[in-house]
Amino acid sequence: MPEKKEKFYLTTPIYYTNGLPHIGHTYTTVVADVIRRYKRMRGYDVVMTTGTDEHGVNVERAAKKAGIPESEFVAKMADAWRALWDELGIPADEFIRTTDLKHVRTVQWLFKLCRENGYVYKGHYTGQYCIYDNAFVTEAKPGDNCPDCGRPLETVTEENYFFKLSAFQKPLLDFYKKNPDFIQPDTRRNEIISFVEGGLKDLSITRTTIRWGIPVPGEEPHVFYVWFDALTAYLSAVGGPEYEKRGCWPADLHLVGKDIIRFHTVYWPAFLMAAMLPVPKQVWAHGWFLMDAAKMSKSKGNVVLPRPIVNMLGMDALRYFLLRDVVFGQDGNFSYDALVTRYNSDLANGLGNLASRTAALIEKNFAGKIPKPAAFKPQDDALAKEAQAAIGEVLENFDKLSFARALETIWTVIAAADKFLTSEQPWALGNSEADQARKATVLWTTAELLRIVTALSFPVLPDSAAKVWTLLGQSEALGKFELDGLRWGQLAPGIPLGKSQTLFPRVDKTEAIERIESMANEELNPTPAAPAPAASAPAATGTSAAAAAPAVSDKIGIEDFAKVEMRVGQIKTAERIVGADKLLKLTVDIGTEIRQICAGIAQYYEPESLIGRKVAVVVNLAPRKLRGVESNGMIVAASVGPEGRPVLTGFHEEVEVGARLK
């Protein structure tokens, strides 16, 4: 452990404010929080920064759409991001907004340094620009789509200030060579090295086509290019021009997704080198969470939200799943099924069960006090050896950010303890002195193992590990416990167990997934007038009139109503969805095409009774997935009674399929 507390400064990306956080953003922030907790337990003085990237065309457009000034729009969004991180227990130590004055000053200062050192000049640039990614695509032709997001590029010509990125090809390559750990994982480092070896073009770092940005002093209407602006946030969060006073810079670790690695490993170190400022020590690019093999995005309607999962299973379950199920660095598919399966097997049946079983046995046999072990048998020693070896292995894997491996090791030890209890059967031992001594040894061994796995899993499971720690009678706050001192054999006999609390109640998989999806639908498509709770409201399963009904007092103009395109549809087929007892999968003829729509009416309508029936369909809803089945539209139904029974609309006269409802 470091003598004097060594600093560790880590960052997540500064997220865009034109949308709200989904599981992808949550992933990066959770990983940062795990590292922060882990490093604190290794004796470091850790500072973690996250924040919001608030400038650029996208925000300008989103604010216009919302009908409010940009500053008001971004303030609301930044509040929402910050509030969610607080709610999830992963708040930043420094939350930086790119509209903060201290940030504005830092960006202007960095530009001045780069310019004074001869790395900035004025020129013209015409290129194909992706307004969604805020980047020119140098190799694109007019009419091309963005290679990253697939959306159409726009031709943009403007007077710019350019940054002499071309001058940094050699310095960057030398830097990568001297600092082989700068870019992680290795596959990404190789990609970046070949990109830089291919030659670097100068980079335009100001814009005149954008209004909503940080002004270049004395050069209005130039504003800074969003990446020159955003990357600098890492520095403005910890002192900006006075970074030396705070002592955090250079960053020890920038955590990013693989989508933005080039900005962090080519542009960012080049800007800093040009300004003669220290360069970060490491950039770690993780993979993407995918939904059906595609990167999540709200426009595709395939985002997973964190809150419904946390409401159903708890934050620790989400943290565990994110870190356990995907190898850090690689892409992974997100599936609710895998999430709940892991929850039940590893948390409810694994750690939760071991903790409650051990505590109950100690309670019953030793009046709730940690027993004093007697002579150890070879099987006890074997378990001790396994747990002791796991300490080193887990720390090594946490150091390498191999979270899945670290957790796998911890859970192998948990399984070994379960097996140990089952084979030693302390409950079957009698009251003779020898039996009592054996019981004490077995239960002390299990409790000691539990103490070790609890300390090791704290960075990932902070709430539940703290509960088990208290249960084991440990008074020191687990977050302050120093992992370097963790050894087998430290559990003191005689201390009373603490309060027992439910850790991970087992859940029914089908029901849990239905509830999570239902809450997610409600969050993505809020129903202001819906009286029933999100989890049970049929509105949330894609059927009901409540979803389309405005709040009674909220009058809307005809132009708002006109946005909803409702047509007469005829149901062609209807079937139940395995594992989703509320949902029916329908195919519906809407005049121009046959659509697949899921409707939460299975408890009230037999599929066969629906064939041929004409119903009102909202046809211009963004597609979404319900229980993994695509739903492209919504069947309108009245929501009746306190339980919100859906009653389908009908027509008393002959109507043509596809006719619009106005």
φ, ψ of residue 288 to 5 degrees: the values are: -105, 150
Decide if 401 contacts 459 (C-beta within 8 A): no
CB of 25 or CB of 103, closer to ligand ME8: 25
Q: Distance from CA of residue 648 to its chain's centroid?
A: 38
Separation of CA 341 from chain center: 19
For residue 414, CA distances in Å to 82, 226, 315, 450, 491 come to: 36, 48, 21, 8, 17
66 or 594: whose CB is closer to ligand ME8? 66
Nearer to ligand ME8, 230 or 599 (CB): 230
**Which of residues 33 and 53 has its CB atom nearest to ligand ME8 in the complex?**
53
Task: Using the structure block, give the residue that is written with the tokens 């960095």.
Answer: 110
Q: Does residue 308 interact with ligand ME8 by CB under 6 A?
A: no
Q: Where are the alpha helices (DSSP H) in 275-424?
A: 306-313, 315-325, 336-342, 353-366, 378-399, 403-424
Q: Which of 8, 16, 336, 403 binds ligand ME8 (CB under 6 A)?
A: 16
The one segment of 39-47, 288-296, 343-351, 626-634 that binds ligand ME8 by CB under 6 A: 288-296
Shortest separation between residue 34's beta carbon and ligand ME8, angstroms: 14
Minimum separation from the CB atom of position 522 to ligand ME8 (A)? 22
Q: Which of 28, 365, 397, 543 binds ligand ME8 (CB under 6 A)?
A: 28
Q: Check binding of 82 to ligand ME8 (CB under 6 A).
A: no
Specify the residue, 45 or 259, whose C-beta has the smaller distance to ligand ME8.
259
**Strand 289-291 relative to strand 294-295: parallel, antiparallel, unpaired?**
antiparallel
Q: Would you tell me the crossing angle of helices 23-41 and 306-313 to the nearest 10 degrees?
A: 60
Q: Give the separation between CA 26 and CA 21, rounded to whole angstroms.
A: 7
Kindly state whether residue 296 participates in binding ligand ME8, applying the rule CB under 6 A.
yes
Closest to ligand ME8 by CB, 167 or 290:
290
Q: Return the half-sphere exposure (C-beta side, CA atoms, 13 A cut-off) of residue 648.
A: 23
24 touches ligand ME8 by CB under 6 A: yes
Minimum Å distance from CB 64 to ligand ME8? 20
Interface residue with ligand ME8, options 8, 9, 27, 228 (CB under 6 A): 27
167: its two tokens: 């001058």
For position 576 contacting ligand ME8 by CB under 6 A, the verdict is no
- Rounded CA separation 479/227 (Å): 36
Contact status, residue 378 vs residue 512, Cβ threshold 8 Å = no
**Binding range to ligand ME8, per CB under 6 A, among 19-27, 205-213, 423-431, 458-466:** 19-27
With CB atoms as reference, the residue minimizing the distance to ligand ME8 is 24
CB of 259 to ligand ME8, least distance (A): 5
* Contact (Cβ atoms closer than 8 angstroms) between residue 606 and residue 566: no
Phi, psi for residue 136 in degrees, rounded to 5: -75, 145
C-alpha–C-alpha distance, residues 236 and 230, integer Å: 10
Selected from 9, 10, 13, 588, the binder of ligand ME8 by CB under 6 A is: 13
Selected range binding ligand ME8 among 13-21, 217-225, 401-409, 527-535, rule: CB under 6 A: 13-21
- Residues 39, 46 contacting (CB under 8 angstroms): yes
Which of 73, 64, 59 is closest to 223 using CA atoms? 59
CA distances from 557 to 526, 547, 562, 563, 620 (A): 19, 18, 9, 10, 19
Stretch that binds ligand ME8, among 9-17, 386-394, 424-432, 469-477 (CB under 6 A): 9-17
Six-digit token pair at 393? 């292995």
Task: Give the number of residues written for the chain.
Answer: 662
Residue 53 interacts with ligand ME8 (CB under 6 A): yes or no: yes
Q: Report, in Å, the least distance between residue 12 CB and ligand ME8.
A: 7
Q: From its phi and psi, is residue 98 left (phi > 0), alpha (psi between -120 and 50) or beta?
A: alpha
What SS3 state is found at 316?
helix
**Tokens 């530009």 found at:** 111
- Residue 296 CB, nearest approach to ligand ME8 (Å): 4
Return the number of the residue (6 or 523) whose C-beta is nearest ligand ME8.
523
Q: Scanning residues 221 to 280, which ones bind ligand ME8 (CB under 6 A)?
A: 230-231, 233, 256-257, 259-260
Residue 23 or residue 513: which is nearer to ligand ME8 going by CB?
23
How many residues interact with ligand ME8 (rule CB under 6 A)?
20
Residues from 407 through 466 that contact ligand ME8 (CB under 6 A): none
* Cβ–Cβ < 8 Å for 204, 222: no
Nearer to ligand ME8, 95 or 289 (CB): 289
Least distance in Å: CB of 42 to ligand ME8? 24
CB of 303 to ligand ME8, least distance (A): 8
Q: 135 vs 312, which CB is nearer to ligand ME8?
A: 135
Applying CB under 6 A, does 343 fall inside the site for ligand ME8?
no
Q: Which of 288, 321, 458, 481 binds ligand ME8 (CB under 6 A)?
A: 288
DSSP string, 99-148: TSHHHHHHHHHHHHHHHHTT-EEEEEEEEEEETTTTEE-TT--TTPBPTT
CB of 112 to ligand ME8, least distance (A): 20
* Least distance CB 189 / ligand ME8 (angstroms): 17
Nearer to ligand ME8, 258 or 377 (CB): 258
By CB under 6 A, residue 387 contacts ligand ME8: no
Residues that bind ligand ME8 (CB under 6 A): 13-16, 24-25, 27-28, 53, 230-231, 233, 256-257, 259-260, 288-289, 295-296
